[in-house]
């Protein structure tokens, strides 16, 4: 994550020098885009859906702002473009905040895993619920979605088309019920306040 921040700072520094055209098609930006996706997936799997969504959202805003700037005949410098400046600084702030909270995120993840293991000794998880959980992780790790995390239906539809070509995949309502069972077992409940909601402040923009 620290390396990702350094790469982002280097890219923004290059933009400040007026070399934004072609930047979004460069190997460096492709590498950054992949690392952002991997970070988002890791956060989702570790029970931080809010942080995962925030990373994806702010990256998308930054990429769009850079594309808009690159399309101008005379791209402004970053400090001259207030919206782009705010977007870029907010994204860097989010990444730096995640670095500070990484130890706590990992600690919570390990604790939930230990608790799940203890529970399995007495309660256990059904085979079908475990399969649904593994499939869901496979979908968010390999699928390309417009936002993160995807909805349960979006993940199920991706599995229907890619994962198993529909073979042995239950109907959506049944699969979602198994997935809920697995979430409860592993301590990954949706819409539960977590560490990801305790850092940073969002910069409000027009229309929000």
Q: Does 18 fall in a domain?
A: yes
- Mean pLDDT (the chain, rounded): 77
Whole-angstrom distance, CA of residue 48 vs CA of residue 58: 16
Q: Does 201 fall in a domain?
A: no
Q: Does 149 fall in a domain?
A: no
pLDDT digits over 132-171, tens only?
Answer: 888 888 888 788 777 667 889 998 998 888 865 446 788 8
Q: What is the pLDDT of residue 1?
A: 72
> Which runs of consecutive H residues, i.e. helices, occur in the chain?
2-16, 27-45, 49-70, 82-122, 127-142, 152-158, 172-186
Q: Does 52 fall in a domain?
A: yes
Tokens of 115: 């608790």
Number of domains present in the structure of the chain:
1
pLDDT digits over 55-113, tens only?
Answer: 999 999 988 888 887 777 776 666 677 788 888 889 999 998 888 888 888 888 777 77
Whole-angstrom distance, CA of residue 109 vs CA of residue 182: 15
Q: Does 77 fall in a domain?
A: yes
Host domain of residue 23: 2-104
Q: Does 37 fall in a domain?
A: yes
Tokens of 120: 């399995």
User: Is residue 206 scored above 50 in pLDDT?
Assistant: no
Q: SS3 of 86, please?
A: helix
Q: Does 155 fall in a domain?
A: no
């Amino acid at each position: 994550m620290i390396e990702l921040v350094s790469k982002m700072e280097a890219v923004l520094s290059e933009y400040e020098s007026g070399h934004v055209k072609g930047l979004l098609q460069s190997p460096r930006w492709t590498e950054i885009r992949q690392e952002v996706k991997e970070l988002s997936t890791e956060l989702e799997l570790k029970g931080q859906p809010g942080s995962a969504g925030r990373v994806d959202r702010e990256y998308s805003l930054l990429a769009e702002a850079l594309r808009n700037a690159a399309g101008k005949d005379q791209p402004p410098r970053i400090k001259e473009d207030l919206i782009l400046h705010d977007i870029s600084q907010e994204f860097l702030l989010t990444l730096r905040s995640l670095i500070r909270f990484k130890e706590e995120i990992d600690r919570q993840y390990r604790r939930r895993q230990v608790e799940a293991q203890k529970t399995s000794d007495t309660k256990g998880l059904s085979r079908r619920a475990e399969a649904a959980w593994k499939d869901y992780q496979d979908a968010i790790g390999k699928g390309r979605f417009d936002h993160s995390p995807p909805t349960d239906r979006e993940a199920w539809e991706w599995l229907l088309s890619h994962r198993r070509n529909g073979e042995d995949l239950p109907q959506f309502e049944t699969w979602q019920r198994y997935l809920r069972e697995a979430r409860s077992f592993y301590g990954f409940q949706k819409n539960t306040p977590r560490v990801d909601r305790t850092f940073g402040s969002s910069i409000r923009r027009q229309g929000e």
